[in-house]
Structure 1
Amino acid sequence: MLMYERFIGRHRDDFVTLEDLYKNYSIKCSDDFNFAYDVLDQLAAEKPDSLAMLWVSKHGEEKRITFGEMKRWTDKTANYFKSLGIKKGDFVLLVLKRSYLFWYAILALHKIGAVAVQATHLLTTKDYVYRCQKAGIKMAVITGDGNCTEEFDKAAPECPTVQLKVVTGGKAAGEGWLDFEAGIAAASEDWQRPTGEEATKISDIMIAAFSSGTTGYPKMVAHDHSYPLGHIMTGVFWHRAEPGGLHFTISDTGWLKSLWGKLYGQWFAESAVFTYDFDTFSGADILEKLAKYRITTFCAPPTMYRFMLKEDVASYDLSALKHCCTAGEALNPEVYNQWKKATGLRIFEGFGQTETTLSCSTLYPWVQPRPGSMGLPTPGYDLVVVDENGNEVDPGVTGEICLRAESMASRPKGLFMGYYKDEGSTQRAWHDGLYHTGDTAYRDELGFLWYVGRNDDIIKSSGYRIGPFEVESALAEHPAVLESAVTGVPDPIRGFVVKATIVLSPGYEPSEELVKELQNHVKKTTAPYKYPRVIEFVSELPKTISGKIRRVAIREKDMRR
């Protein structure tokens, strides 16, 4: 019996139809479920020599870690943390890029019952201050690469809760840093699951993650120990990870997306994960890794597919690749079509947030992609599209995507506990039995959802409601457009008009002729009233540190003009 079958009672292929999956998919677990013990340690006991992770450094160094070795090192890490005074309920900051040490650390924290707080290495001093103060960080484990420790030390005087600083690579810019590798190497590998008051419960907080912060300071999202169970749908049913396979999700461990594709769901499926610790994304480099390491399942944001498609994809041997997925932003039909033409593989889209696991998707083999569509609601979530009063809207009518959840006790596995120490934000997002995602979409007659945009991104022009995604998708079909962001700019007659801020592909230069060409292209590709009346060419788009386009920054800049 595969690991995930122990929690849902069936093999995924035993679900005959999508209706069968919706009706009979359910998760059963004990009140003391803990992924580190009940999945990792169980796999280590049953198949200690099976590959858990293939890690490749930016210099090409390879490290193969079995489930048995992963258990041993997480036990040693747990003992090291305990020796430093880390206990159940303590908050520990992890800034480890794509190092295999992240897995040792986060799983050790799960075993202790401490709270893991992921953060990206791109943070600046003020970012560290905000996160440490918000979470009450007791200990920070930070990569020795770059200037991360230097930035953290600048923040330290304003972070009174921080008692311990630990660095990887044995090097730090300042004083007082402990050596992480030396510490875990010297620690005992004899670790026993805690009992009594130190034992974890499924309802205990396990992860505290910061949202992208596209419109303000990031909110702190709390997940309990049931969160990994929500990723059975992610890794087993959407990614289609399988025993003996090698799954590759492109994500930095500073973001919760890394837990979608580099840990929980894949190990439920008993698949190994591929982790490439690169610094700068290169389409050619990623294609080379897909070919060299015989990756079987793959997930990346649409932007990265776009960059890979700028290369000669057909020249790489991708014959081992069986299944491709995307998430993080809406998938343009043009990217889907070009990837299918180059590889013969469809891209299966998924939608979710920091607050959720996979909540809408195209699930192979029951749901085939409809280019441009988000897919159907994911089993396990009761997803609805509602108006401003919380009433479900008819097909074809744009509304807000919401998830039914009457209370925390009745919420589906994978939905967050709330915003940590921020009851006001929790109540604004989660009320009247609905969690409000802030994203808008409409359903078609078959029930498929089509993404429109964030609530704040909708453009109201001459009585029309225009979502940026449709216009951006139309622009993406033109070879001159590498990236675009569509926003509204004030207009005395129409209220707002559509503006496109565009990064051009190599070989193209801004001109009035190109503006007209792009406007006419959009008029022919989508409803003519949606065409961008204003076009601005830029060298780069403003983005969050997670890579999401900050349309709000463009709007604010335009308002100041």
Structure 2
Amino acid sequence: MSDPAQLLRDWITTYDTPATSVAHLLCDRHHPDTVATTEIGPTLTATTLTFGQLAERSHTLAAGLRDLGITPGDRIATLIPKGIDLTITALAVWRLGAVLVPLLPSFAPSAITQRLTNSHTRLVITDDEYRTKLDPGPDMTSTPAWNIATTGTHPLREGDHTLTTLTGPTPRTVPDTTRAGTDPLAILYVSTVVGPPRGVTVPVRALAAMHAYHHFGLGVEDDDVYWNTADPGSAYGLYHGVISPLLAGHGSLALRAGFFDPELTLDVLGMYGVTNLAADPTTYRTLRAATKTLPPEVIVQRLSSAGEILGQDVIDWVTDIFGVPVRDHYGQTELGWCAGIPNGATDDTDTALVPGSIGPAFPGWDITILEAISDDPAPLGTYGRIAVNLAESPLAWFDGYIGNESASQLRFTPDHAYYLTGDTGFLDRRQQLFFSTRDDGAIVTRGYRIGPSEVEAVLNTHPAVDECGVYSIPDELAGQLVGARIVTAADYDGSPALAEELKEWVRTRFAEHAAPETVDFVPELPRTASGKMRRARLR
């Protein structure tokens, strides 16, 4: 068994240098005949991409992007489903030293506009299916600061580029641009209770944390058939559906389907012989609701879950029906995944799961609990604020949000430097983490993280809404659903028809997954004496 400390030193040394070739690390150093990605269509047909093909096609696309004037540091956004096109595009962006801004295809124009503007995107590469989301309209500017390219063979709008015209008929190569470990690799967005989503700049040196979790947390081995079901527009999907398997030279599956179907999921598990599955809790909860017994061809040996905390009842069901336990892992966009029972090389009886616990910190991380009202460490077994001790966490990389580099999540005292996760919990005497609540009030529904204020901002643009408040509703399958209390404007009356109209308003102007499940009409919102909305009372 390899020494974890030595592996960490090797990864940090490799990925945090003054001149790192990201494309070499993710692709060119691997055997050209090894399969990098297998894209599975809705009918379960498969298309494979080897590392050799990935190298050639990403080189050619990078040359086309360079012809458009893309230079190191430029922001390139993608509105592309998971699969081969996204993998090639991401690697081409990184060959040029540019920065990837992956967007969820489920986003509506207003959410897309906010992220493109905040990230100063120069080019958006979109699948043909989502091109209309970039058309001028109430939530999309008619004079964008970005160019548009589509994945099809013919331009869909005047002025559009296509990947076909960018690449041309002849393969080309470009010299890879090297980047320092502190240079940006990608930009992702996290939702908050108040205000717009915050941009997280992921540096090149974060590759070490991604590789470490791939090895220790997910436990992916060379002979595994690995499938991460998360969308690459999210941190878990980008870090560990695209990047970490490429780093390790491991092939991965990508199901190109715009919906979650438990029967389709079981078909993929069985038909392709998946041995290592990483998914969000909604996937496991939905499988439980729809599955009585597993098909005999399902042979999964390692299961991981991330995004929110699994209930013990789901863990028990998964263990019973799959015959192996699901490992519940803890992390954030700003960290990667840093705690849980490992599926990998450090998995042994000493880290057996204690009921109700997530598990200990993974190698390379040190988690502590701070007192509720001070930055002093809390006694073992005492609830407090979950924090990462930065001095003892060599894999930590977050240093602030775009436009707010002095983020309040980073706390420096004379003796310590901490990253405050915004979550609460406690550590037991074995240093196993017990999660309690998420302090920041974000709603996690079906694996997506939503800021209540983002939904409120969209609802407030409807003429029938005078003011509104958004809150979470517990749900057995989704984890949480979105609820909304509405105070109607003058001349409007609350009605079932208006409730449905407001749901559709959010669905088309923000995102499908953010649409309220329940809309109630109230005469007023609960407020404090100073007039501040009491969000906890909305329920």
Query: TM-score by structure 2 length?
Result: 0.77
Q: How far, CA to CA, are the matches of 2:366 and 2:142 in structure 1?
A: 43
The alpha-carbon distance between structure 1 residues 383 and 152, as it changes in their structure 2 partners (threshold 3 A), is farther
Aligned partners of 1:236 and 1:266 also within 8 Å: no
1:248 to 227, 251, 270: 227
- Aligned counterpart, 2:387: 402
Evaluate the alpha carbon distance shift between residue 158 and residue 354 of structure 1 in structure 2; reply closer, same or farther with a 3 A threshold. Answer: farther
Q: 2:85 aligns with which of 94, 98, 101?
A: 101
Counterpart of 2:96 in structure 1 is: 112
Matched residue, 1:220: 199
- In structure 2, the partner of 1:333 is 312
Tell me what 2:27 maps to.
40
Deviations 1:307-339 (A, max 9, x none): 111233524135531100000000111001001
Which moves more between the two structures, 393-402 or 165-174?
Answer: 165-174
**1:6-27 Cα shifts (integer Å, max 9, x gaps):** xxxxxxx234xxxxx4697433
Contact kept in structure 1, 2:110 and 2:140, CA below 8 Å: no
Change (3 A) 1:361 1:192: same
1:226-264: CA deviations, max 9, x gaps?
112211222112111111322101111211211232233
The equivalent of 1:122 in structure 2 is 106
- The superposition leaves residues 329-381 of structure 1 with CA deviations (integer Å, 9 ceiling, x where unpaired) of 00111001001111101011111111012111111323333343221112112
Shift of 1:138: 0.7
| 1:527 counterpart residue number | none
Mapping of residues 385-534 of structure 1, within 5 Å: 385-387=369-371, 388-405=373-390, 412-424=394-406, 426-432=407-413, 433-457=417-441, 501=473, 503=475
Structure 1's 310 and 437: CA in aligned 2 closer, same or farther, altered over 3 A? Answer: same
1:169 matches 2:155: no
**Equivalent residue, structure 2, for 1:183:** 166
Answering whether residue 122 of structure 2 is matched by residue 138 of structure 1, we say: yes
Q: 2:284 aligns with which of 301, 305, 316?
A: 305
Please tell me the residue identity of whatever aligns with 1:65: L
Structure 1 position 84 matched with structure 2 position 71: no
Which residue is equivalent to 2:456?
none
User: Are 1:373 and 1:451, in contact at CA under 8 Å, matched by a contact in 2?
Assistant: yes
Shift in Å, 1:420? 1.5
1:236 aligned partner? 215
1:206 maps to which residue?
185
Match of 1:351 among 323, 326, 330: 330
Moved more, 222-231 or 166-175: 166-175
Query: Which whole-Å CA distance do the structure 2 matches of 1:317 and 1:182 have between them?
Result: 46
CA-CA distance at 1:416 after TM superposition: 2.1
Q: How does 1:260-271 map to 2 (within 5 A)?
A: 260-271=239-250
* Number of aligned residues: 462
Separation in 1, partners of 2:155, 2:83: 17
Which of these residues, 303, 309, 326, is aligned with residue 324 of structure 1? Answer: 303
Going from structure 1 to structure 2, the CA distance change for 1:206 and 1:159 (only over 3 Å counts) comes to: farther
Q: Could you tell me which amino acid in structure 2 is paired with residue 206 of structure 1? A: L
CA distance in 2, matches of 1:298, 1:110: 27
Check the 8 A contact 1:149/1:174 in 2, yes or no. no
How far 1:281 moved relative to its partner?
A: 0.3
**In 2, Cα distance between the equivalents of 1:127 and 1:283?**
28
C-alpha contact 2:106 2:513 (8 A) present in aligned 1 = no
The answer on 1:14 being equivalent to 2:2 is yes
For 1:61, the equivalent position in structure 2 comes to: 45
1:277 matched to 2:259: no
Unaligned 5+ runs, structure 1: 1-12, 16-20, 459-467, 473-484, 488-498, 506-539
Q: What is the CA distance between 1:504 and its match in structure 2?
A: 7.2
CA deviation vs aligned residue, 1:114-163 (integer Å, no higher than 9, x gap): 111111112222212211221111111111114x433454355366431x
Q: Secondary structure at the match of 2:106?
A: coil
| Structure 2 unaligned blocks of 5 or more | 453-470, 478-502, 521-532
SS at match of 1:450: strand
What displacement does 1:306 show?
0.8
Percent identity over paired residues: 18
TM-score normalised by length of structure 1 = 0.75
Describe the shift of the 1:178–1:313 C-alpha distance in structure 2 as closer, same or farther (beyond 3 A): farther
What is residue 10 of structure 1 aligned with on the other side?
none
How far apart are the structure 2 equivalents of 1:247 and 1:309? 21
Deviates more, 1:414-423 or 1:292-301: 414-423
Distance, in Å, in 1 between the alignment partners of 2:119 and 2:537 is 34
Tell whether the 8 Å contact from 1:76 to 1:188 is kept in structure 2 after alignment: yes
Contact between 1:244 and 1:272, CA under 8 Å: does it hold in 2?
A: no
Change (3 A) 1:204 1:419: same
Amino acid in the other structure paired with 2:289: K
SS at match of 2:324: coil
On the 8 A contact 2:424/2:435 being kept in 1, the answer is yes
**Which of structures 1 and 2 has the larger relative contact order (alpha carbons within 8 angstroms, sep 6+)?**
2
2:424 alignment partner, SS class: strand
Which secondary structure state, in structure 1, belongs to the residue aligned with residue 360 of structure 2?
A: strand
Mapped partners of 2:7, 2:215: distance in 1: 16
Q: Alignment partner of 2:107: what SS?
A: coil
Look up the SS of the partner of 1:419 in the other structure: coil
* Whole-angstrom CA distance in 1 between matches of 2:222 and 2:101: 30
Cα deviation, 1:527-546, whole Å, max 9, x if unaligned, reads xxxxxxxxxxxxx9x99959
One of 44, 49, 52 as aligned partner of 2:36: 52
When residues 152 and 61 of structure 1 are mapped into structure 2, their CA distance, relative to the original with a 3 A threshold, is: farther
Q: C-alpha root-mean-square deviation of aligned residues, in Å? A: 3.4
Any runs of at least 4 consecutive aligned residues in structure 1 with deviations exceeding 6 A, and if so which?
548-551, 553-558
Maintained 8 Å contact 2:21/2:176: no
